Amino acid sequence: MAWRGYFVKWTKTECINSVSTVSRGSRFTLHPQQRCGFRKEARKPETWKRDRGIPEETGPPPSEAADAVVSRKVVPPKSGPPPPGAAPRRTGKLFKPFMFTIGFTGCSFGAAAILQYESLKSRVKTAKDEAEQEKNGKASQDMTYWHNWWNQLTDFQKQVILLMSFVDDFWSSLTEGQQMATGIIAVNAVVLCCWRIPSMQRFMVKYFTANPASKTRCLPMLLSTFSHYSIIHMAANMYVLWTFSSSIVSLLGKEQFLAVYLSAGVISTMVSYLCKTSTGRLHPSLGASGAIMTVLAAVCTKMPEAKLGIILLPMVSFTAGNALKAIVAMDAAGLIMGWRLFDHAAHLGGALFGVWYVAYGHKLMWRKREPLVKAWHSMRSQAPGGRGRPGGSGGDGGRPGPPT
């Protein structure tokens, strides 16, 4: 009987192990439909319809019907699929950028005219004060005063003053165009450093990249002109600006050049907005290429026979007119063929604005600034502390005119 008891004990142990194994296995291998509940039993055909000769209604199985219901809820019917690669064209949202372009361009040239007036007035006043000092013989007294002041300084203070004097001499040795280009390069360098700060990435993308699909579209039209993410991109643009800065400033003057440069950045971005919206390629862009193309086009239009060269190929030379034609042709081809290496629309917009300004814009805009300057001069003369024209009588009651 011992073997019988041992056999009964062995069978019980094996049954328990098999039951536990099945329960553990079935716990993890559920049928997909059991997760949402039990499968509904199929409805039996009604016998009374069959007895009376009424045909039974046939339909899909319950599982297929449930899947169809779920599919209708998840995937709504499509009224009309849009063509592949097409983006919604929101040309109505370009009204504000267009008005911003017109307003900013007008304000830029108006501010440049007033700035030129103030600069000329300051130069006249400085020349008058120097003439009065020489007439009264105060130059020798000033030299004695500064000589005594220098002897009272420490060695460290003298070294700082000598360094500042060296920087001032270097700045004075630059042309007016190079001085303007140095200021623009400094602003671009600061913006480039801001791109390297992780906490400012969202702010930089919002305000320093131009994108017609963005909620902020007006202010980035100006700020993106001073924005470069790549050091190579910035170096190439600033080299071209430095090369043509002396020529463009000698043609237009500092104030007019600044107005043209800023306006060119906004206008080229507006042209880029139009092309991106019309083609549906809504991607952000940044850089000073549009404004620099205006400078390049203006110089090449004014001096088409000037000789230009390539820094890496000094033996190759060509005229400025041919260079402008080649650049415009390349950008036109890139715009038509859809190249995405550069913002060819902004390049073309800047180049066309530069050609138009030299040919017609200078006469239509800058030469008609006299009413604005006269109004500003009248307002300055009526303000407290305003004085008349240098060299004129202040008590004659006449209203002086603006300096010429």
Q: Give the DSSP letter of residue 94.
A: G
Exposure class string for 35-61: b at 16+ Cβ within 10 A, else e: eeeeeeeeeeeeeeeeeeeeeeeeeee
What tokens appear for 41 in the block? 């039993």
Strand ranges (E), 206-337: 307-309, 317-319
Instruction: Give yes or no: 347 in active site.
Output: yes
Residue 8 CA to residue 104 CA, distance in Å, equals 100
According to DSSP H, which parts of 310-368 are helical? 320-337, 344-356, 362-364
User: Do 186 and 263 touch, CB atoms closer than 8 A?
Assistant: no
Residue 281 CA to residue 273 CA, distance in Å, equals 10
If one counts every other C-beta atom within 10 angstroms of the C-beta of residue 196, the result is 10
One of 246, 263, 268, 289 is an active-site residue; which one?
Answer: 289
User: Do 323 and 253 touch, CB atoms closer than 8 A?
Assistant: no
Residue 267 CA to residue 269 CA, distance in Å, equals 5
User: Do 224 and 266 touch, CB atoms closer than 8 A?
Assistant: no
Q: Which residues pair with 308 in a beta bridge?
A: 318
Q: What is the dihedral of CA 322, 325, 241, 225, to 10 degrees?
A: 180
Residue 36 CA to residue 154 CA, distance in Å, equals 89
One of 108, 228, 285, 347 is an active-site residue; which one?
Answer: 347
Q: CB-side exposure of 302: number of CA atoms within 13 Å?
A: 18
Residue 318 CA to residue 285 CA, distance in Å, equals 31
**Residues sharing a CB contact under 8 Å with residue 256, sequence separation 6 or more, in sequence order:** 109, 112, 116, 366
Instruction: Give yes or no: 20 in active site.
Output: no
Three-state SS for 289? helix
Active site residues: 289, 347
